[in-house]
Amino acid sequence: MESDGTTCELCGSVAEVREHRQITAKQLNKAFYYSRWYYCNNPKCSRNVFMKKEHEVWNQNEAAAQVKMFEQSRDQAAHIRNIALEI
């Protein structure tokens, strides 16, 4: 396995890079998946696998749904704030 120089944040050992060989329906059916993750091969470390947010891949339909939910909650909060200011 290869390494890109990333170290385990817990023990400091150099971590191996893992990636999907191909993106399958399993990943596409999830809200998001990681395109790359890291494996700490230090047997004394309790953290075997870790991911970085920069390798998160949001599936387009789910990402759009998340944005819509955020916008709705933001609009509701503004409405509640306006009501509270009127009281």
* pLDDT tens, per residue, the chain with 87 residues: 677 788 998 999 999 999 988 888 888 888 888 999 999 989 999 888 999 999 998 887 665 666 667 777 887 887 787 777 776
- DSSP type of residue 81: H
Q: What are the phi and psi torsion angles at 24 (to 5°)?
A: -110, 180
pTM comes to: 0.61
> What ranges do the domains of the chain cover?
16-86
Structure tokens at 33: 């998946």
